[in-house]
Amino acid sequence: LGIPAEPLFRSGRKREVRRLWEFLDFKVSRLIRIRFGDIRLPDKLRSNQSEYLKPKQLQALLNSVNLKD
């Protein structure tokens, strides 16, 4: 029986996130990144699919790494 969860982490690698959950006695079968900063993956996006960023998303991404358009 799996219980889906959507925790929000500011940073961390998959193995760090996995260790955190396992420390709390949760078995982690898979981790999926659904968001990066202000950019969230669309629900309809499937494996091996891609989608162009909207101008606002692109600007937010560039701003998050201190780059200008």
Q: What is each CA distance from 69 to 10, 40, 45, 52, 64, in whole angstroms?
A: 24, 20, 26, 16, 12
pLDDT value of position 55? 92
Rounded CA separation 29/15 (Å): 12
Positions in the chain whose pLDDT score sits under 70: 1-2, 69
CA angle 21, 23, 26 (to 5 degrees): 45
Which contiguous run of DSSP H or E holds residue 4? Answer: none
